[in-house]
Amino acid sequence: METLVAPLNGHNTNLTDEGSRLKLQDTLRTAAESTETPHDTMLRLFNAPLQVAVVKAGIDLGLFNILTQSKTPVAVEQIAQDKGADPLFIGRLLRYLASIRLVEETSKDHFAANKSTIAMSDSRVQGAMNYTFNISGPAYQAFPKFCQDHNYQNRTGGKFPWHAGAQTDLDFFPWAKQNPEGLQWFQQLMSVPREGDWLDVVPMADVTEQVLAADPERTVFVDVGGSVGHQCARLTTKLPQLKGHVVLQDLKETIDNVPAIDGVQAMAHDFFTPEPVKGARCYYLCTVLHDWDDEKAIEILKNLIPALGPDSQILIDDMALPNTGVHWWSACLDLHMYTMLGAMERNEDQWHALLDKAGLKALSIETYSPTMRHSIITAVPK
């Protein structure tokens, strides 16, 4: 009961398990929304687009970092002076951010950091906000007309709202190759720690021990499309015995910017070409296949098959959605994938069908975040 009423009093609940925490959030949101008049509902949605815009301005100005770094409340006058800005305007920005609980108003014209301010001062979160404001935001603006123009068909291939929003003919990843700032925001977004830990359902310590006992030189883990290597770094930190047996692969533009990770070999590789590392124990694809429609996802998987040894496994780390009651974030990510890439989040039936078409079968689908449904789908040749 204490846990339930704590957030009503503005206290941290310390709920650690994802299922209970998200259930509590949704219950409280539903309760708050049940009190809304039609006018309140309209106001809530009217406010939504402005939030990201003001947060973006706050990031550009360094507001979240200034408040987070200060041990005492900061005067509006001080920030305005340091930034050469108008105190009246800085006060209006901070007043708005306090009203949506992203900063704390401590007294007249004085503000301090709260938990959300600290979150917004993280460079990875700032990259994610820059991504959503500059990159997915314009694509969302193009979404309704795109759907209307295409008669609300579930399109794969061709152009998506992304192209109209960014006014480009390039698909997102080729565009990112030519736009280093956009690529960096995307990489920062990818680096924000996600819900759950896939190592809870894959016994990597045991796997590593068995593999290296039989062949001390063997590659144990290939992170295919692994971005800047945050998963590899986490893995080798948790299991140092894996050092020297992990390969990180991504596009050259990304690999060129990867800081050296102890015990991890970084390799430029396009996953639409045959996998060059042969006979590794695990080929791991984390939130890679959800970027692609079935045709392209099958191509990626088929490029792995010739590299597989007798006991190799493909570990797909993606959402495996339930048939009903999808969490709002999973449903959001699904439409985000459609908007940006013409892709989708898949349910279990869709995963089985996809693997079958690629010449693979699922040995297991193990969910490690019960609400978001992040899961490890272990696949081997049929």
Ligand X SMILES: C[S@@+](CC[C@H](N)C(=O)[O-])C[C@H]1O[C@@H](n2cnc3c(N)ncnc32)[C@H](O)[C@@H]1O
Positions marked active-site: 290
Selected range binding ligand X among 127-135, 208-216, 255-263, 282-290, rule: CB under 6 A: 282-290
Residue 321, C-beta contacts closer than 8 angstroms, at least 6 positions apart: 330, 334, 345, 346, 347, 348, 373
- For tokens 């990770």, the residue is 261
Residue from 225, 255, 297, 376 touching ligand X (CB under 6 A): that is: 225
Backbone φ and ψ of 76, nearest 5°? -55, -45
Q: Is 258 left (phi over 0), alpha (psi -120 to 50) or beta?
A: beta
Q: Indicate the length of the chain as a whole number.
A: 382
* Exposed e or buried b per residue across 177-188, where buried means at least 16 C-beta atoms within 10 angstroms of its C-beta: eebeebbbbbbb
Residue nearer to ligand X on the CB measure, 140 or 173? 173
Q: Is 266 in the site for ligand X (CB under 6 A)?
A: no
Residue nearer to ligand X on the CB measure, 306 or 325? 306
Residue nearer to ligand X on the CB measure, 64 or 172? 172
Q: At closest approach, how far in Å is the CB of 311 from ligand X?
A: 23
Of residues 250, 279, 251, 247, the one with CA closest to residue 264:
247
288/300 Cα distance (integer angstroms) = 9
- For tokens 């971005």, the residue is 227
Residue nearer to ligand X on the CB measure, 254 or 367? 254
340/185 Cα distance (integer angstroms) = 15
Q: Is 291 in the site for ligand X (CB under 6 A)?
A: yes
Structure tokens given for 205? 């310590």
Selected range binding ligand X among 111-119, 120-128, 139-147, 269-277, rule: CB under 6 A: 269-277
110/115 Cα distance (integer angstroms) = 17
Residue nearer to ligand X on the CB measure, 30 or 273? 273
Q: Is 341 in the site for ligand X (CB under 6 A)?
A: no
Q: Helix %, strand %, coil % for the chain, to 5? A: 55, 15, 30
Residue from 196, 226, 263, 342 touching ligand X (CB under 6 A): that is: 226
Residue 201, C-beta contacts closer than 8 angstroms, at least 6 positions apart: 366, 367, 368, 376
Report CA 343 to chain centroid distance, whole Å. 15
Residue nearer to ligand X on the CB measure, 33 or 270? 270
Residue nearer to ligand X on the CB measure, 91 or 229? 229
Q: Is 229 in the site for ligand X (CB under 6 A)?
A: no
Residue from 109, 250, 275, 345 touching ligand X (CB under 6 A): that is: 250
How crowded is the C-beta side of 249, counted as CA atoms within 13 Å?
Answer: 21
Q: Is 173 in the site for ligand X (CB under 6 A)?
A: yes
Selected range binding ligand X among 8-16, 97-105, 270-278, 308-316, rule: CB under 6 A: 270-278
Of residues 71, 87, 88, the one with CA closest to residue 79:
87
Q: At closest approach, how far in Å is the CB of 287 from ligand X?
A: 4
Q: At closest approach, how far in Å is the CB of 48 from ligand X?
A: 24
Residue from 190, 304, 326, 340 touching ligand X (CB under 6 A): that is: 190
Structure tokens given for 61? 């100005």
Report CA 63 to chain centroid distance, whole Å. 24
Q: At closest approach, how far in Å is the CB of 266 from ligand X?
A: 12
Torsion sign across C-alpha atoms 370, 374, 376, 379: positive
**Which residues between 123 and 152 bind ligand X (CB under 6 A)?**
none
Q: Is 254 in the site for ligand X (CB under 6 A)?
A: yes
Q: At closest approach, how far in Å is the CB of 126 from ligand X?
A: 17
Residue from 117, 287, 369, 371 touching ligand X (CB under 6 A): that is: 287
- For tokens 């144990």, the residue is 220
Q: At closest approach, how far in Å is the CB of 212 from ligand X?
A: 24
Residue from 179, 227, 330, 371 touching ligand X (CB under 6 A): that is: 227
Q: Is 270 in the site for ligand X (CB under 6 A)?
A: yes
Q: Is 271 in the site for ligand X (CB under 6 A)?
A: yes
Contacting positions for ligand X (CB under 6 A) = 173, 190, 225-227, 250-251, 254, 270-272, 286-288, 291
